[in-house]
Structure 1
Amino acid sequence: MKINTTVLLTLILLILMLGAGSVSAFLGFNLGSSALKGVTTPDGRPTTKFASSKASNSQQSGVALLKEEDILKVVKARIEGKTKAAKSEKQEDDEEETKSNRQKPEGKPQEVTQEKLQPGFPVSAENQGVSLSVQSARYSGGDLLLKVKMQNKGKDSVRFLYSFLDVTDDKGRTLSASTDGLPAELPANGPTFSGTVSIPTALLDDVNKISLSLTDYPAQKLKLDVSNIPVEKAAGL
């Protein structure tokens, strides 16, 4: 009897365990199913991928592509349009310039004005084709300004050092002077050069005439003496 009771209890326990396992499995399945509602697995079938690629290709093929000829025609038309626009702008500019030139009065020929010489001028000297001429004298800014012209018509060039320029008044006194614009060398058969000789006014209070003396350097073979240059001050100076 004891053996039968033990076997019976064992069977009862097994049945209870199986029942509890079945119940727990059922409950777990229901919970998992409710949790996975609406979740789908990706379609990994090759036929489906092929169909989707066909669909995408069909969508891309729907885009209209321009022909090469049409593109070339458009580009050519744009280039021709820009060229015509540039030509028309240039023509308009030329026409405006022509109109403006027509509207401008014709320029009168330049009149050759001769320098009005002061009384007693010019005073000049010449030696061996080299000339020194004083064209005018005027007072300005505390100095007497002598306008001087020099030219060499000889066959050889001549050099000068203007620190050797001697300036004397009508009483034989030596005066200090400075030069501006006179050339250091006169070329043979050259043009006329102009410059200025400046003498301080304070040295000319009682002077009416002055003289210039210049020799070439370093040979000192020619000498230019310009005498009796009138420098008398006007009234009020």
Structure 2
Amino acid sequence: MTGASSGIGLAIADMLGQEGYALTVAARRPDKLEAAADGLRAKGYTVEHVAGNLGDEDVINGVVAAHEATYGRLDVLVNNAGIGMGEPVDALTTKKVDIQLNTNLRAIFLFYRAAMPMLRAAGAEHKNALVVNTSSISGIRGEAWLGVYSATKHGVVGYTQAMNKELATAGIKSTALCPGFVDTPMTDFVKEHVPAETMITPTDIAEGVRFLLRTSTGCVVPEIRFEQPAGGLEALPG
């Protein structure tokens, strides 16, 4: 799984470890990822970790190859790595546009492609292989100042829907996670407007994924929305 060094990704990795899955975790920063992997191992989980820029095709292929070399099979793929960079449309920075497109969207396409042989094998075996793609509530409704981020997260939802149609007969199911503000370092920029204690927790998201692990072969969940009782993205600075 990607983006696993903190926040939502680490919470999902912890939950998968609890459920008995051996893990390959990936993230950009080696020191932070190694600390997270060591913490997971300390809980008794089997963990491989691979650091690198998850917007890079060679890194993506390397993560999947490392997982296959270590475990030989893949039942659950979690595409969680993502980045949000807010800018008004008048002042979009091309580099920031490209980083968000590569990390939030293009990487998901490439992870599917690289992992497809193992996912197809799992689907053929038990008809319940699972891919989880982290989108956002802004992938459901676009937000001012987060236009590029919103567009990439809309793309995640659309690609998830397309994969469910394309892979339905292969026993591979896909779900897009669409949370509002989650209390992670990624939302520190807005916590003066949206208090952390009012936010969704990473554990909430992980428990949603635990539910997906328990669904029958006849049940596909295209997306899960996690919303706060009130407020939310409308509280962003305009």
Q: TM-score range by the shorter chain?
A: under 0.3
- Between Structure 1 and Structure 2, the one with more helix by share is 2
TM-score (norm: length of structure 2): 0.17
- Between Structure 1 and Structure 2, the one with more strand by share is 1
Higher relative contact order (CA 8 A, sep 6+): 2
TM-score (norm: length of structure 1): 0.17
Structure (1 or 2) with the larger CA radius of gyration: 1
